[in-house]
Amino acid sequence: MPNPIFENFVKLVDSGSLAIVDDEIIINFPEKPETELVEETLGSIGYDFDDVKTYRKGKLTLSLNAEYWNSDSVLWESWEDLYKFAVRSSSVPENYYIIEARQSSLGTCVQAKQIELFCRMRQLLATLSDHCVPDEGIAKGSQKMLFIIETDNNVCKHEFKPTVDWTFVSSIPNAGENIDAVNRLIDFLSVGDSQDNERRSVMRSAFNDLISVCHSAEVIFSTVLKSAKKFLSKYEEHHDLFVKRFSVNKILHEINEQDLNYTSKINEIISGAQNKALALPGALIAIGAIMKIDHLADGLAVAFGVLITSIIVHRALNVHLATFAHIKKQVKSDFKRYDNLNENAEIRKQANNTNKDLTQLLRKAEDDAKTIQKVIWLVFFAVIMFIWFSVSNIK
């Protein structure tokens, strides 16, 4: 919002003709304003009014030296002088009047946008840097910046001084659009959530990509300064890749967890089947150790016990086979949804490999369970033959 006090000062200056003599600006008014009005206007903006030297006979003399101002001077001889101030302070004054151009902060000036772009970009890079000189204050990073950025292949080191001359800054086109781009980048770094560090890392990666075309450290800052919109575009591109990579890793981790979960279940069932399969031989060993078949009744009792044990183990293995069939359907259903991720071959490949491995493991587990069933009945018939042989030789 315009400052009414500064507006009065601009109206006063614009009403006369200007001339610069040494370090003073001389204003001649065709229509002489009242001394009280001039004194009040100058006093309101912080200028020390001298009853003898400042205003005489319709001629206003203002010094450009800081000692005559109680606050920061609003007068600048040229845009270049204002730019030099911005280089030292990393900011554009709220109120300013450019004598040579007869322009002020009340209007929209391309040069002001260009200076603001310089300040904002330097602030952004100082925030992104690993080290800068000075490392704090309004002039943070004005003398030197250091970046050490890790890439997939190596570590890139960039050390440069973030300064350019006014000729270059004044030639930057579309300064307003570039400022909007820089402001968006700065906003991304100050969201205040748990992803701030990740966004900073992604932005540093985009910065490294942007300056990869620079043949020397001297042109790094100028390259970034004139490419703010491209910097924003590269950041968005790198951030999209980061999000996709994060999503891919999350899904791959999910696939690995499913693989481990199913493998544990299958191994647990196989272990149970093996324990049940050992029940019959164990029972036979115990019977053989404590009992002799001396009568037909003894043989029938043993045969009946072995039959019951075989039936129980067989039915238990049937339950395991049914469980394997159910798990096979679950695996097929769980991994089918990854087939729709056509945009990422890595996920699809990992899912297919895991699905194939689990299917093979289930098939082997089923074959083993069926084999155990056959062995159980083979043992049963061997026991019957042994009992028949024993009973036949009873005297």
Average pLDDT over residues 302-307: 75
Encode pLDDT of 366-375 as tens digits: 787 788 778 7
Average pLDDT over residues 295-312: 74
Q: How far is CA 281 from the centre of its chain?
A: 62
Q: Other CB atoms closer than 10 Å to residue 87's CB: what's the count? A: 20
Contact, 180 vs 228, CB < 8 A?
A: no
Q: Select from 365, 166, 146 the least CA-distant residue to 268.
A: 365
Q: Select from 39, 44, 33 the least CA-distant residue to 7.
A: 44
Higher pLDDT, 202 or 312: 202
Confidence category of residue 245, pLDDT binned at 50, 70, 90: low
Encode pLDDT of 134-164 as tens digits: 888 888 888 999 999 887 678 889 999 999 9
Going from N- to C-terminal start, the domains of the chain cover 4-107, 111-226, 243-392
Q: Where are the beta strands (DSSP E) in the chain?
A: 17-21, 24-28, 55-56, 59-63, 75-76, 97-98, 103-104, 131-133, 144-150, 155-160
Encode pLDDT of 24-78 as tens digits: 889 898 888 888 888 888 888 888 888 888 888 888 988 888 788 887 788 898 9
Confidence category of residue 300, pLDDT binned at 50, 70, 90: confident
Task: Please give the model's pTM, rounded to 2 decimal places.
Answer: 0.66
Confidence category of residue 124, pLDDT binned at 50, 70, 90: very high
